[in-house]
Amino acid sequence: MKRKSKYNVVVVGVGVVGIEMLRVLRQRNFPVGDLRVLARSTREITVDGEKYSVKAISPEAFDGMDIALFAGTEGEKGAAVIYAPEAVKRGCVVIDNGADFRMDPKVPLVVPEVNAADVKKHKGIIANPNCSTIQMVVALYPIHRRARIKRIVVTTFQSVSGAGQKKVNELWEQSGAFLAKKPIKPVEFPYQIAFNLIPQIDVFMDNGYTKEEMKMVNETRKIMGDDSIKVNATCVRVPVFYAHSESVNIETEKYISANEVRELLLKAPGVRLVDDPMNRSYPMPINAEGKDDTFVGRIRRDDSVKNGISMWVVADNIRKGAALNAIQIAELL
């Protein structure tokens, strides 16, 4: 993309991710010339006191635009499948937050702290990874470079905002009903989510893992550029509004101590080390909400294997896990 003083930007979608994209563009002073906000229908929205006029999406809406940020609908009827090729045809570079293009070998899957150079390989579309994958690879890549990770076992504790605004609303409503001792009738989730855990995110596949879990397996290998890494994931929905937490266990090829991991992560881009458990200092979702960083703590040796390390990783799934990562990609462009 040619360097300009201003870039014409399209944001497609005004759910929780689309709104956060608008917020992050302003907060990071992205050099926006013309800004267009598109969705299925026309409306007016306000984000942090700033009014935006939302227009109905059409192929012509991408004329004259430089960058299109798709907030994350997916599937054959999703905006990205229908309109991303139209945007590219009109000279726009698409950064898509959905899953449609992530595993396409012609489409770079980018986390700027890990594989920024892959942006240059794009042919019009760049994919934004899954939120739970993003925060994990930000924390693990410095270790992989130093000691080469052979195996990852991860359990995620994913907030309801990862499933959209309606799921956030349902947690609010169910929490109120539970505390008032009123009956709870799940609508958006298959089961009660308030004061409960649901060990299923997305549909189950033939191998017994969910689609979300397999995203973590396949995306991690693609982003880190190593298909030999073994990844085992269990993804759980928890009654938290914002920020995903992950219990991550790794086995490395070379020995690396817990202190060496701390030293690496202390200097790693996008990472904030919060690791003083004796003083009850460790990452929590309430501390990560609204923050750009990926928080890492509870770093310790796993003595059950030769070169094992365990850690706890937390990040705002709507911010670093979606909107911020997409706009960091746009900044690279």
Name the residue among 145, 45, 127, 52 with its Cα closest to residue 84. 127
Q: How far apart are CA 60 and CA 149, in angstroms?
A: 46
Q: Is 244 among the residues known to form the active site?
A: yes
Paired residues of 310 in beta bridges: 249, 300
Q: How far apart are CA 154 and CA 251, in angstroms?
A: 12
Whether 131 sits among the annotated catalytic residues: the reply is yes
Active-site annotation holder among 92, 122, 144, 244:
244
Q: ∠ CA(269), CA(271), CA(274), 5° rounding?
A: 150
CA distances from 134 to 53, 110, 222, 235 (A): 31, 9, 12, 14
Q: Count of alpha carbons within 13 Å of 216, Cβ hemisphere only?
A: 29
Please report where in the chains the tokens 């960083």 appear, as a residue. Answer: 293
Instruction: Give the Cα separation of 131 and 314 in Å (integer).
Output: 11
The active-site residue, picked from 122, 131, 144, 235, is 131
Buried (b) or exposed (e) across 107-126, using 16+ Cβ within 10 A?
Answer: bbbbbbbbbbebbeebebbb
Instruction: Give 238-301 as a DSSP string.
Output: -S-SS-EEEEEEEEESS---HHHHHHHHHHSTTEEE--BGGGTB---HHHHTT-SSEEEEEEEE
Spatial separation of the C-alpha atoms in residues 290 and 278, rounded to whole Å: 26
Going from the C-alpha of 142 to that of each of 104, 149, 267, the distances in angstroms are 25, 10, 9
Task: Report the catalytic residues.
Answer: 131, 244
